[in-house]
Amino acid sequence: MTDTLYDVVVVGGGPGGYVAAIRAAQLGLKTAVVERQAMGGVCLNVGCIPTKALLHTADLLEELREAKRFGVVVEGVSLDWEATLRQKDTVVKTMTSGVSFLMKKNKVDVINGFARLAGRGQVAISTPEGQHRTVTAKNIIVAVGARPREIPAIGAVFDNDRILSSTGGLSIPSVPKSLLVVGAGAIGVEFASMYRSFGAEVTLVEMLPRVVPLEDEEVSAELARALNRRGIKVFAGSKLNHLEKIDGGVIARLVDAQGAEHALTFERALVGVGIVPNTGDIGLEEVGVALDQRGFIKVDDYMRTNVEGIYAIGDCAVTTPWLAHKASAEGIIAAETIAGHHTQPLDYGKIPSCTYCNPEIASVGLTEAKAREQGYDVKIGKFAFTGNGKATILGQRQGFVKIVADKQYDEVLGVHMIGPRVTELIAEGGLALSHEATAESIMRTVHAHPTLYEAIVEAAHAAAEGAAIHM
């Protein structure tokens, strides 16, 4: 039975879905969100937020271990794992409660249950109590997200005991003595970095020739050196053939870049090699929504599917990168399009990416290699944190800022960073690209001293004038 008519029903309450709902409500549309689990989706519950909470604990632990050289003597530094997990859970609860408050504030109806498209403008909902209802919507935004990818062919099937997904890696009962991390993208290197700080012996395996393979090659090389200094063993360009659970551990059989075979034993393994969209069995095919061969929903620049009145955003859509802030931006576009509000499509090449390992990585725009592939006559400006006063004060001088610019017009094409707090500094790079800044315009912008972001203006000097001031 149909019991309610909405202007917009959002299926999924993650950072794409709840932001879309808020924006739709702000624009005067009667809106509901259907969420089968906790509001906030993967990001707030088992992704971005809890991972970064654990990484913050890891960073604090590293700082305390180094405190003596700053004149601060701390005796008996140790990790209380149970307290660490409690703090992580407190952060998650605070953030998800905040989202629930925003729903009430913006008069968005929240329906707890599993949603399925039941026809044009119809959403059938099954509640945890076994009840069933149908709501009618003039427009539907599908924001069902994705889940970690398993690889059954090599035994990489999650039991969240010995073989972990990124979700399982957030709540294991104790820090493992040894950990294999499969995949050296953002998820993999974050978990590798975190658990190394917590005391685990960590091995990182990546099929592609370098760690963080989507980042600029110089950033990858710098991170590889940093991981090596921290005692993380890296097998890049290596093929994992099989994972086998044994009593009390896991055996990994792999072939390294030189062709040598290895059989390595670990207490646990964590697999972070991509995602699978949650688009199965939610009625998409029945209403005619087009999917690509991997199951991601095809959309246009305004997040519209091929079926009138149905939109898709976030990790379930074919658009990349799969990031929470990208999903939120897409949610706003979908809501504004539905409301007839003026909006502008995303430029997916100008979305910042952040990796919260130690040292941090952040980037936006084209890498040097990609810029050359696209035919640009490239010039580079680079500045190492060894020449930065604030980095020296912090005792975190590793890493650099690299600006990729077009030689003909001086336009900034990409900004790439590795080093202290660069996940905060990258905001200037994003603004530079969105406003078509030049290396000279950044160079002429006075940056406060002493700050880490002076490294950006120094890199701009190097790009615009051929030399940084302090290097």
Residue positions in the annotated binding site for NAD(+)? 183-190, 206, 274
For the beta sheet containing 268-271, the strands, ordered from the edge strand earlier in sequence to the opposite edge, are 163-164, 268-271, 178-182, 201-206, 233-236
Using the structure block, give the residue that is written with the tokens 């690509």.
292
Q: Is 341 a catalytic residue?
A: no
- What are the tokens at 418? 């590795």
Q: How many CB atoms lie within 10 A of CB 301?
A: 13
- Residues 417 and 402 sit within 8 Å (Cβ to Cβ): yes
Catalytic residue among 132, 242, 449, 470: 449
Angstrom CA distances, 304 to 25, 35, 147, 298, stand at 19, 21, 23, 8
Query: How many residues can be counted in the chain?
Result: 471
- What are the tokens at 394? 């912090």
Long-range pairs of 392-399 with CB within 8 A, sequence gap ≥ 24? 393/450, 394/420, 395/66, 395/69, 395/70, 396/359, 396/420, 398/222, 398/226, 398/359, 399/222, 399/359
Residue among 289, 268, 269, 270 at smallest CA distance from 279 = 289
Q: Strand (E) positions, 313-411? A: 353-355, 360-365, 378-384, 400-406
CA-to-CA distance for 96 and 38, rounded, in angstroms?
7
Using the structure block, give the residue that is written with the tokens 């959002």.
10
CA-to-CA distance for 320 and 172, rounded, in angstroms?
30
User: What phi, psi does 158 have (nearest 5°)?
Assistant: -70, 125
- Residues 460 and 469 sit within 8 Å (Cβ to Cβ): no
Q: Running DSSP on this structure, what letter comes out for residue 447?
A: -
User: SS3 of 419, please?
Assistant: strand
CA-to-CA distance for 422 and 23, rounded, in angstroms?
30
- What does the angle CA 153 – CA 156 – CA 160 come to, to the nearest 5 degrees? 150
CA-to-CA distance for 426 and 438, rounded, in angstroms?
16
How remote is the C-alpha of 137 from its chain's centroid? 31
User: What phi, psi does 434 have (nearest 5°)?
Assistant: -70, -25
**Which residues are known catalytic residues?**
449
